[in-house]
Chain A
């Protein structure tokens, strides 16, 4: 009997250890933000089809995870929905001995989604309304701040149930960044971050948890990524931008937010929430790849640089189908030049 076990185990071990090996394969490991995972997986897959010896393996471990792992050197590059802070950049410099570069890839947006029995229209929200709701100061749906922006829609006098993200995420960063810009009170009381001390509300895990909670709780409101809302055909509201328009988040309005930004800094670390310009959706953001400026392995370096160039050209054409907004042309041009910074 023991012999039988041994033989079976040995056979299993041998079979599983063989696996599928490929010659000359350049395997690049990357990890980071969950939000762009669908488009990244599409890109890396398409790129692998073009150059079958280059395999870029991306895992969504979260923006913070991406920053942490690229700093620890366990992945070749990272990805994050929020730009790295100065302290984080310095830490990378100290640990890895080179600078870290940010490369925007696509644009995303957060949308306010809600479940009010009897209301199927897309409501208008001002920045003050959203801040008030999430601060817990606006507690009823028929509050003047909301009602005045929606003449002609009958809002009930029920209590608003707020739903936010419980897990740290880039989506929360974008939302709180926006609220900090439109409300001094929010900025002082709560602030911006991938995770904050929410004054009110239930926490849902992931977009999944938030949308699930909203679907099952009458009179609730929360925020999810635009791709999520569109793919799941959720009702979401319009938000007022600095130009005074109530804009519905769409691929066009999100790209407009990026285009409306006047000075793109050299290192591409910028927040475009509450961006000026007509047709701009105010709760938009870039998402970045975090690439070390010095890459030791020449094969990996060439692969990454080529990929970036491809991503800025052919890659951008694939974004719309997956509900991501393209980068504006000005940003693309700047980035193409920045690729040379990778040594």
Chain B
């Protein structure tokens, strides 16, 4: 029979985890709710279709910032995710212990670099030689931020796949590469997608690296070589202004940014899974 002490410990600890969840989820729901009430309720179609207007003039929107953020995220993902993911594969599957240690350590270091320093870094390396601000430099700055996060999370999830699965595949005669790509990665898929989504989410909200690279633009920005507006930068600029109208738009933009990430999240999960849902 189970002792009373063990039963009590069990009940108490499990309830505590419930409390933790309640606190975490409560905070989150509060943030989302606040954003919704301050930003979502005053959202109009103009926000999605019009260019910014000066303060006080109604009918302004952030259409160019939406497109700009999308382009920046696309470029950043194309750079950051493949490199980071494959680096994570190396660490999880091939790495010898001392070299992997160094790589892992360095990854954690890069994760801790403030985003503004990455922005200054990209400014020195790309903007100054080119002589102008551009979407390209902004995307590259964000991509550089994505790589260490992607390596870390990919490695964690790949390593979580039980050794038995790998051994089973190899016993059937599969080469290492085949094992990785046909057995390990699909098994870790749910976690890998989580990691990628967290990565995109994190980078989507970054402001500081874009100030010195993408710069900002009140108009449309065709191609990749011109400065571009981005949602986080617009939020920052409007939120610290004195005008109620702009502050309102800042909250709306914050809400829209969140929704943008949500859409990416949902569509990615749909596209990357068989039969339209991620098995769990």
Contacts and interface: CB of A to CB of B under 8 A. Distances in A.
A119 interface: no
Interface residues of A, number: 47
A41 B243 CA distance: 13
A20 interface: yes
B54 A42 contact: yes
Given A4-B271, A29-B132, A41-B55, A19 B223 contact: yes
Contact of B67 (A19, A74, A232): A19
A153 to B, nearest CB: 27
B65 to A, nearest CB: 12
Interface residues of B, number: 41
A1 B274 contact: yes
Contacts of A72: 128
A9 B264 CA distance: 12
A20 B220 contact: yes
A330 interface: no
B211 A21 contact: no
Q: Is the interface of A mostly helix, strand, loop or mixed?
A: helix
Contacts, number: 98
Interface stretch (A53-61, A99-107, A182-190, A264-272): A53-61
B132 A225 contact: no
A8 B132 contact: no
A20 B50 CA distance: 13
Nearest to A228: B242
A294 to B, nearest CB: 16
A9 B77 CA distance: 11
A144 interface: no
A321 B219 CA distance: 24
Given A16-B74, A19-B67, A74-B128, A41 B242 contact: no
Interface stretch (B33-41, B142-150, B163-171, B233-241): B233-241
**Most chain A CB inside 10 Å of its own CB: which residue of B57, B219, B237:** B219
Interface pairs A-B: 3 shortest CB-CB:
A19-B222, A59-B216, A42-B54
19 contacts: A1-B272, A9-B78, A17-B71, A29-B132, A29-B133, A37-B241, A38-B55, A38-B246, A59-B216, A60-B237, A61-B215, A72-B128, A74-B127, A74-B131, A208-B239, A227-B242, A228-B242, A231-B243, A232-B242
Interface of A: 1, 4-5, 8-9, 12-13, 16-22, 27, 29, 31, 34, 37-38, 41-42, 44-46, 48, 55, 57-61, 72-75, 205-208, 225, 227-228, 231-232, 321-322
Given A17-B223, A38-B54, 14 more contacts: A16-B67, A17-B71, A19-B220, A21-B223, A27-B226, A29-B227, A41-B52, A41-B55, A57-B216, A57-B227, A72-B128, A74-B128, A74-B133, A208-B239
Interface of B: 52-57, 67, 70-71, 74, 78, 127-128, 131-133, 211-212, 215-224, 226-227, 237, 239-244, 246, 271-272, 274
